[in-house]
Every structure is written in structure tokens, then in C-alpha cells.
Amino acid sequence: MHLNKVALECRHISLSYGATPVLRDVNLKIEPGEFFALLGPSGSGKSTLLRLIAGFNRHQAGELLVDSQDISTVPPHARNIGMVFQNYALWPHMTVWDNVAFGLVERRESRDAIRRKVGEALELVGLSQYAQRRPAQLSGGQQQRVALARTVVIEPKLLLLDEPLSNLDKQLRVQMREELKNLQRKLGLTTIFVTHDQEEAMTTADRMAVLDGGVLQQVGSAAGLYDYPQNRFVAGFVGTANVLEGRVTSVGGETLSFQVEGLGTLTLPRPADAPAPGPGAIAFRPHQVSIGVRDEQGDASRVWLDGSVESAEFLGEFSRYRVRVGEVALVADQPHYAGIAMFEPGARVRLGIEPGQLRYLDA
């Protein structure tokens, strides 16, 4: 089973429920064969966008293109788009085989074609020997595989997954994440999945779009969004970030001076699109901060800040410190090694940040 790779494009899509805007001027292009994630908090519009692609709701403005054809007015059953719902929506009274065959029977395919395609789909998800069981006799992970087999057996143009792993426990989620990625690679099927879990998106998707308040905040690879967030929301939602509010006081050839409220002036490398003097923010990640005792002489190339530890948490792989610097509280993560004592609350420490890891945010 190898399926067509199609492109999907949203052009200026807007949708409101009554007077409430849910999607605002969404522009997005998903490449053929791409595994693409829609990431955002509850109420961000990500599930609405997924359902809109499936045809379960309609946008009031814009175009929805599959391989350059606008499908906005095509009813859901005629779009040939497969969707796996969060609760799997399996028929409890039917066997696994009959669940998977359901879409093909509806399409009145021949008995031989159904036998061949269902057999292939069950083999693909490793459930051939469970064909005569009912969903209640399967584990959560197996039920999800049945839902996937039922969806891919109709050879859809697109595969849509709505929070596909949220009903599974953590260990199974990690395993299914891997399986999902392998299945998608094997099929070469353009896949869009919705999640609020940044780790899920970062480990599986080729690229992702971050939504908030119905607005597309940023699109890119996991590393691109993590390393170069475009605004405060993306910096805080993709990973953990320290965000310092302040203002740009001067912009030189190579550097930019940034005055942080309650902390002082920091110097960081000038971004490609240099901002004009005025309000903004800078962000950096907790693991990019080194922490040492106050009197140690530090590397001159770093930005050094003196502070005191407010709280310390041991998290196994690393220790997380909350450090008060002036009027600002910063988070610093340090890798844990056996035999290294943690800093106690109240300890006077120095934080070191590489200037190249500081990111200027203008929105």
C-alpha cells in the first residue's frame, strides 16, 4: 500500500462562530508527504482547523486547496480525507476485521478487493492475528492501531489525527509516537496531527505550526521554533524560556544594548532584522544558563548576572533553580552528576549566559 502524496494549502482562511473569531487569516502550506503538527493550547483553533480540512465545519473566508484544487465546497464524504478521532470511534459490536472493512463496504468494493486491502492494512499495523476480536478485547494502543488501519485502508489523500495519543499512558505514548512516525514514512501519506503536547510535536513532525487565539504564530521545524522563536508566545510554548521585558537602548554594527527592567543593561548579538530602539523582550532557555558560586571568575565572553537561589528542585537528569537577579526571577537548569551537591535556597550564585543564545523578541 503506497499512497499519493498531496499538498495542502490554506489561503487567508477565517472562521467565526457568531461574533467569536476562531481562525483569523490563516495562511499555511503543507508539502506532499509531510508529517505536519498543529500545536497550541486549548482553544487556540487547532482542532477547528483540522475539522475544517476534513469538511466538518466551513470557513467564511479564504480557500482550502488540495493539490491546487479548492475543496471548500466539497462535502466531507467526497473529499477522500481520513481522520482518526481522539476516542478512536470504533464500532464496539463489530470485529477488528469488520471495523477496518467498514469504509470499503460503504464504497461497495468487491469482496476480493476488501479481503486484500483489509489484510494489508492489518499487517501494516501488526494486528493480523487480532482480526476476529472485538475492540473491548484490545488494549488502548491496539485500538488506536485499528483506528489507523480503518483510516488508511480507504487510501485517503490526507491523514488527519486529532490528539491521537492523549488517551494512552506515558510509556505507551512514546512507543506509539514511534510507530506512528514509521507508519507515516512507510505510506508516504501527507499527515496532519493536532496536539497540545510540545514533546509529541517535536519528536514526530517534520514541521509544525503554533497557533494561539486563532492566529498562526510561527511555522517551522522543531529546532527552528525552539532556537529562533518569533515572539513571546512561541518562546514560552515551545520549550521553557526565561523572558525578560525591557527596551532596546542602542543598536550598533554587531551588537544591541537591551535594558531590562529591574536588572540592568545586557549586550547581545544584533539580529538580522535589527529592531529600532524601543520596548521589546529577550528570551533564553534554562539549560543555556550556567550556575556557579558568586566569587568564581567567569569566562569573559559570557553575560554574567549575580543573584541568589530562591528555590531548588531535583528532577533526576537535571536540577532546576529559580534565581533572583535584581527584581527578576530566572530559571537555570543544570545537568546532574552523582556526587555534586545542589545549591541551597539563599545561596549567592553567578549565572552565565552565552550572548549568542540570547534571542530578541519584538512582539
Same-domain pairing of 216 and 280: no
Same-domain pairing of 202 and 267: no
Q: Which residue has the higher pLDDT, 167 or 342?
A: 342
Of 190, 208, 232, the one marking the end of a domain is: 232
- Work out the pLDDT band at 1, boundaries 50, 70, 90: low
Cell triple for residue 288? 543555556
Q: How many domains does the chain have?
A: 2
pLDDT of residue 175: 82
Q: Report the percentage of the chain scoring pLDDT > 90.
A: 62
Same-domain pairing of 84 and 193: yes
pLDDT tens digit sequence for 40-90: 999 999 999 999 999 999 999 999 999 999 999 999 989 999 998 877 788
> Helices 140-152 and 96-106 sit at what angle, rounded to 10 degrees?
20
Do the domain assignments include residue 1? no
C-alpha span between 235 and 284 (Å, rounded): 8
C-alpha span between 237 and 232 (Å, rounded): 9
Give the position of cell 469504509.
103
Do the domain assignments include residue 3? no
- Residues of the domain holding 99: 8-232
- Work out the pLDDT band at 274, boundaries 50, 70, 90: confident
Mean pLDDT throughout 210-215?
Answer: 96
Same-domain pairing of 213 and 126: yes
Q: Which residue has the higher pLDDT, 353 or 268?
A: 353
Same-domain pairing of 162 and 250: no
Chain mean pLDDT for the chain: 90
- Work out the pLDDT band at 363, boundaries 50, 70, 90: low
Same-domain pairing of 186 and 99: yes
Mean pLDDT throughout 170-180?
Answer: 82
Same-domain pairing of 182 and 289: no
Same-domain pairing of 20 and 138: yes
pLDDT of residue 298: 65
HSE-up of 164 (CA within 13 Å, CB side)?
Answer: 32
Same-domain pairing of 278 and 344: yes
Residue 218 sits in a domain whose CATH number is: 3.40.50.300
pLDDT of residue 94: 93
Of 232, 258, 279, the one marking the end of a domain is: 232
Mean pLDDT throughout 298-327?
Answer: 90
pLDDT of residue 40: 94
Inform me whether the pLDDT recorded for 2 exceeds 70. no
Inform me whether the pLDDT recorded for 132 exceeds 60. yes
Same-domain pairing of 246 and 217: no
pLDDT of residue 187: 87
HSE-up of 177 (CA within 13 Å, CB side)?
Answer: 19
Of 176, 211, 232, the one marking the end of a domain is: 232
Mean pLDDT throughout 1-27?
Answer: 90
Same-domain pairing of 283 and 226: no
pLDDT of residue 211: 96
pLDDT of residue 361: 87
Mean pLDDT throughout 201-205?
Answer: 92
Same-domain pairing of 223 and 247: no
The side-by-side arrangement of strands in the sheet containing 61-66 is 20-30, 8-17, 61-66, 69-70
Inform me whether the pLDDT recorded for 234 exceeds 90. yes
Cell triple for residue 61? 473566508
pLDDT tens digit sequence for 321-346: 999 998 899 999 999 999 888 999 99
Do the domain assignments include residue 30? yes
